[in-house]
Structure 1
Amino acid sequence: MFGHNYHVTRHVTYHVKEYTCKNCKKELTTSGNGHLVELTPKFKEINDVLERIHRKRIQKQVKENASVDNLLVFSH
């Protein structure tokens, strides 16, 4: 009766997201080549690992930027 109405339910990384249809509750995710595929337990596990790696990388970048801001800068 209704078409799919997907909305983002989880941001895994900048490019990988999980979606759910508001009408039929079907879950999708972004595959390695950028296409939407059904969210299987295997893809759910892959997304969990990707999210963990992504968060660690972001935290590392924030720490590096904070340490650079604390350096003394001399100009002539």
Structure 2
Amino acid sequence: MKKIFCNIFGHHYSVSKKVTLHIKEYKCVHCGKEVTTDVSGNLSVLTPELQEINATLEDLYQKRHRTTHTQQVA
């Protein structure tokens, strides 16, 4: 029934995870379809490969952000 709603009205995505400032993962609140932003800023289906890429980007972003923040405080 929920997929029928999405077929008629389209997906209603909400942010499920912020990877970086520009890359986010989204999930449809009705059917659970997961997508992410790609290099061009378009939405792409969240495949296991893209999940791994996003996880790596998130780790690098967090390490860089922590290092920059720590240096600014000192």
Q: Which runs of 5+ in 2 are unaligned?
A: none
Instruction: Give the gaps of 5 or more residues in structure 1.
Output: 68-76
Task: Normalising by structure 2, report the TM-score.
Answer: 0.87
Q: CA RMSD in A?
A: 0.8
Structure 2 equivalent of residue 51 of structure 1: 58
**In the TM superposition, what whole-angstrom CA distance separates every residue of 1:21-59 from its partner, at most 9, and x where no partner exists?**
011110000001111000000000000000000000110
Percent identical residues: 43
- Alignment length, in residue pairs? 67
- Give the match for residue 9 of structure 1: 16
Which consecutive segments of 4 or more residues in structure 1 shift more than 2 A?
Answer: none
Larger radius of gyration: 1
> What's 1:30 paired with?
37
1 or 2, which has the higher helix percentage?
A: 2
